Structures are given as C-alpha cells and as structure tokens.
Amino acid sequence: MSMIDPFGRRIEYLRVSVTDRCDFRCTYCMAEDMTFLPKRDLLSLEELDRLCTVFIEKGVRKLRLTGGEPLVRRNIMELVRGMSRHLESGALHELTLTTNGSQLARFAGELALAGVKRINVSIDTLDPDKFKAITRRGDLSIVMKGLDAAQAAGLHVKLNAVALKNFNDREIPSLMRWAHGRGMDLTVIETMPMGEIDQDRTDMYMPLSVLREQLDEEFTLTELPFRTGGPARYVSVAETGGRLGFITPLTHNFCEGCNRVRVTCTGTLYMCLGQDDAADLRTPMRASEGNELLANAIDEAILRKPKGHDFVIDRLTRKPTVSRHMSVTGG
C-alpha cells in the first residue's frame, strides 16, 4: 500500500539514522562536548531491520542509512546485509548511505558485496589543517584512503560539502575540479539551523545563490533534469565534464517535490527535516510482535506531513529553527 501525504506526494524515500554517535564533531553540526543518547534508547539492529521492512512493504523504494556516522554503529553490516534481501527481491530499488569516510577503508568492499552501489561522503575541504579544524578530530588522509577503497570496490561516490563563509567558499572550484577529475559528483549544501552549536551560524552562512554567481564567472553551468531522489538540483560543468549539485534549504527550498521521511535511531519518525512534529514508532513496535500497530502509526504520521519547512538564519533569529542536532535526525 503506497504512502501518499496530504499534498499528493508519494513517499518512496526513507532515511534512517542508525546512531547519533560520530567520530567527528563538525563545527556546523555538533557541539564539541556532545551528550549522546544512552544505548538502551536506540533501536536494536533487529528492530531497525523490522522498521525498514515495514516501510518497504508500504512503498519505500530508496533507503539511505545515516547517522551520526553510520559505520561506527557496532555490527552495522548485519543491517546492511539484511536490507540486501529487499534489493534481491526487487522491492527495494536502492540502498545507500551517507558517511564521513573515516571507516570506508574497512567497509567499502563489504558494502559493495551487499548491493550498495552509491554512497555520499561528506568532505568540506582538501586542506588537511582546515579539515582537522572543521571536524575537530578528523584525519583527511584516512578519509582519502576510504575514498580510494570505495572507488576500488566499484562504489559510485558523491561528495557533499557544506558551503561556509570565509572558510571553504573560495575552495569550492578546486574541490569540484578534484572531485570531477576522479569521476565523483559534488553537491554543495547551505548550512542548516539545527541544534545548538558553539558558534553563531550567521557568521558561517553562505547563500548558494552567491556561490552560484561566483561559479558562473569561472565555469559554464547548464541546468540538468538529473535527480537522485534527494533535494539536490544539478548542473553540468562544461570545463570539467562533471555534475555539480546544489541543496538550498534556505534560499530556495525543495519542499514541493519532497518524497522523503526520516526515522531517528530511537524510532522517532520526522515527516519533515525542518519541523518538530514527529511520531513515536518505537512504542507501537515494541508493544506487539506483529506489525499492525507500527503500520498504523506510520499511516497516521504520513497524513500529517507538512507542505514544507521554515528554515531561517539571520541576526534576529539566534535560536536554531529546530532544537535537535542534525546527527539525531540523520544527515
């Protein structure tokens, strides 16, 4: 039975956070001293499998595993291999994940064997010192080895970079050339006002409309109809032969075609990344060995999916639009 929201959008894309924990502390995403959820609050791998399976039975065709950093979740490959049965049956069309790349050298081969064809890797700079500064604890050389391993395993890699004013905005052209030279797409993202961090986001916010104007001076960008199922709008870059994506939750929201919902590692369903309305799926799932209560809870929640979000970053709006960190909801 398909999931149709109140605005006629068919929900076919599920993003599941398997952990709120991460081995990085990116400055725009987390506070340096994060308090992570107690392990008892997290869904078990078996519960995550059951939850994802119910969504697939309801029409989800694309499943993305996120975090935190999904590959730091203990025994995560059990879940990935479990989901591969839905790829083999044809019920699920794509299984992907978003990662910071720190564990890719270890897991890339296993991911490919489990049917993962494509991954997103978050990387904001190619400068090792700036990379250490923005992630607070990341090692760029380890991520580079992970990218090598991913490509060697046959995974298609898309890089995600958050555009940050006075940090990496002038590096985007060189990052794009490097990515395209290795056969990787690049998507640039506006920083999102989610969760209290240690800095003022207005100092970091770079409207992608401004970045696009800068890139237009140097490159020939042509709009593409290409979509991966997510919110990015793509252009082709004549000079590099590659694709560049823009995710613009503030300057040009992407809500009209939203086919996505998100589930946190505690089993909370968010119908919109930028709204606080949510549905508890853990309680109905644990209340019964059958899936009827869980399925009903999902149906009721989809009927509350809003038309769009209301992200704002400015000097007057000091508080984040939503209080939870991106790592809780899933990147």
Instruction: Place 31 in a pLDDT band, splitting at 50, 70 and 90.
Output: confident
Strand partners, 269: 263, 279
CATH of 13-329, one of 3.40.50.2300, 3.20.20.70, 3.40.50.720, 1.20.1070.10: 3.20.20.70
Known binding residues for [4Fe-4S] cluster: 22, 26, 29, 255, 258, 272
Strand partners, 15: 64, 262
Helix%, strand%, coil% for the chain, nearest 5? 35, 20, 45
Strand partners, 188: 161, 246
**Nearest CA among 36, 27, 150 for reference residue 99:** 150
> Which pLDDT value is given to residue 314?
45
Place of tokens 């959820």: 37
> Which pLDDT value is given to residue 322?
46
pTM: 0.87
- Number of Cβ within 10 Å of residue 178's Cβ equals 16
Known binding residues for GTP: 15, 64, 98, 158, 260-262
> Which pLDDT value is given to residue 329?
62
- Sheet containing 233-237, strands listed edge to edge, beginning at the edge strand earlier in sequence: 221-223, 233-237, 242-247, 185-190, 156-163, 118-122, 94-99, 62-66, 13-17, 260-263, 268-270, 278-280
**Please, are residues 143 and 121 in contact by the beta-carbon 8 Å criterion?**
yes
> Which pLDDT value is given to residue 231?
80
> Which pLDDT value is given to residue 321?
45
Range with the poorest average pLDDT among 22-36, 44-58, 111-125, 249-263: 249-263
> Which pLDDT value is given to residue 325?
52
> Which pLDDT value is given to residue 197?
44
Q: With left for phi above 0 and alpha for psi between -120 and 50, is residue 55 left, alpha or beta?
A: alpha
Distance between CA 257 and CA 26 in Å, rounded? 29
Task: Tell me if residue 195 falls in helix, strand or coil.
Answer: coil
Known binding residues for S-adenosyl-L-methionine: 28, 68, 122, 192
pLDDT tens-place string over residues 101-146: 999 999 999 999 999 999 999 999 999 999 999 999 899 999 999 9
> Which pLDDT value is given to residue 30?
78
Task: Tell me if residue 222 falls in helix, strand or coil.
Answer: strand
Task: Tell me if residue 53 falls in helix, strand or coil.
Answer: helix
> Which pLDDT value is given to residue 311?
44
pLDDT over 50 (residue 312): no
Distance between CA 23 and CA 26 in Å, rounded? 10
Strand partners, 98: 120
**Please, are residues 223 and 210 in contact by the beta-carbon 8 Å criterion?**
no
Distance between CA 216 and CA 222 in Å, rounded? 10
> Which pLDDT value is given to residue 114?
98
Maximum alpha-carbon separation in the chain: 59
Q: With left for phi above 0 and alpha for psi between -120 and 50, is residue 219 left, alpha or beta?
A: beta
pLDDT tens-place string over residues 241-252: 999 999 986 544
Known binding residues: 15, 22, 26, 28-29, 64, 68, 98, 122, 158, 192, 255, 258, 260-262, 272
Distance between CA 11 and CA 55 in Å, rounded? 10
Tokens representing residue 229 in the block? 């199922």
Q: What is the mean pLDDT of the chain?
A: 88
